[in-house]
Structure 1
Amino acid sequence: MSRVSQAQAQENRANVVAAAAQLFRERGIQGVSLADLMKSVGLTPGGFYKQFASKDALVTEATERAFNDRDTYLSSLDSKNPSRSDARGAMAEDYLSPQHRDNPGAGCPTAGFAGDLAQAAHEGNVTSQQTYADGVRRFVDWMTDDGDDGLVATCTLVGAILLARATSSTDLSEEILRAVRHALTDSPS
């Protein structure tokens, strides 16, 4: 049996964290077995504990990874738009789209991890709950512009996408996306 190089082990770990960040948002943390996760990146389940102390430790890393990816996206909007207000409008258009609603694995971690991490303190995983809170705070801070309340806008976006996902096979889903997009961007599209 050959040993994996340190560089390959680091790459494998990064691949597991990235896959977990996606799969946990798609299926929920409890909906992803370690065997399925490891299989998705071409590794055996036995290798998991060589990389991570526990599934809870992976949840924390996957949460941080998802928020870091989201932060990179928000920074790219800042660089593409003349003002934070314009960047926020562009983000709201993307956020409240059918594409975001229908692809939670690639979507916002604030919405994607909300249900599972609401139980984190109850189950004793305070670390992942704090990681989540830190990521939400960064989103709120980015959403705050010229003294307006980024917390209200963030909660409105997250609530809207969760409701739109929960009603995705009905006309109400499109209505939610349209109404909140209009309220936040003054765009009736």
Structure 2
Amino acid sequence: MGSVMRVSRAQAEENRRAVIEAAGRLFREHGFDGIGLNDLMGAAGLTQGGFYKQFRSKDDLAVQACERVLAESSEKMASVVESGADDPLASIVGQYLSCEHRDNVGEGCLFAAVGPDAARHSPALVQTFEASIKSYLQILDAAIQSSPPHGAQSDPAAVLSTMVGALVLSRLVKDENLSRQILDSATGSLLNRDGSTEAEAS
């Protein structure tokens, strides 16, 4: 019996992990209110009936899913700084303000995907985002300190705000040239470069 129980607990934890992972992607793609429990559970290969065995509510799932996504994103950004790259700020900005990031909403930045939506949800979710913003700012400050002076922007709050805002706007326009111009202009502003070259080259 003990062995069966251990397997059952292990499977339950695996199911919970799968739901959190699926929710992190689907919330970014559809928003917190744009996806129902049935679809969330279905994306994890489970039925809605088991949801309340794992989570107190949809808000509880949102908090856990966002915590995981934000932690993973922070780790990826920190790894750029810790890699010893000559210009970690340029690497972070270049990856963030790329067309690839723009087009992959479900795998991209949570701030840009659901930030305004999160502000209208539970205090626990807002606290999760606030804690992550503080973490991002620390990482960006370290990136700035480890990079050559760019002469444009050295305030981590301005860097984060510019990146997130530019990504949001780039996704709002259907004109591909304008979308790229927004990304390139933000990159140029942050790194003191001419932001027109990538869009013109394309």
TM-score by length of structure 2 reads 0.84
Aligned residue for 2:111, secondary structure, equals: helix
Q: RMSD across aligned C-alpha pairs, in angstroms?
A: 1.9
The 8 Å contact of residues 78 and 139 in structure 2, kept in 1 or not, is answered as: no
**Which residue of 120, 126, 129 maps to 2:126?**
129
Mean Cα deviation higher: 51-60 or 165-174: 165-174
Q: Deviations over 1:113-150 (max 9, x none)?
A: 21211212xxxx10011001111111112112349311
**Which residue of 158, 177, 181 maps to 2:183?**
177
**Which residue of 152, 159, 172 maps to 1:153?**
159
Structure 1 position 75 matched with structure 2 position 72? no
TM-score by length of structure 1 reads 0.89
Counterpart in 2 of 1:36? Answer: 39
1:8-157 matches, within 5 Å, as: 8-82=11-85, 86-120=87-121, 125-144=122-141, 145-146=144-145, 148-157=154-163
The 8 Å contact of residues 35 and 44 in structure 1, kept in 2 or not, is answered as: yes
The 8 Å contact of residues 110 and 135 in structure 1, kept in 2 or not, is answered as: no
Aligned equivalents of 1:168 and 1:49: distance in 2?
40
Q: Which runs of 5+ in 2 are unaligned?
A: 146-152
Aligned length: 182
Aligned equivalents of 1:155 and 1:73: distance in 2?
19
1:170 deviates by 4.1
Aligned residue for 2:89, secondary structure, equals: helix
1:185 deviates by 2.4
Rg larger in structure: 2
- Runs ≥4 residues deviating over 4 A: none
Aligned equivalents of 1:166 and 1:82: distance in 2?
32
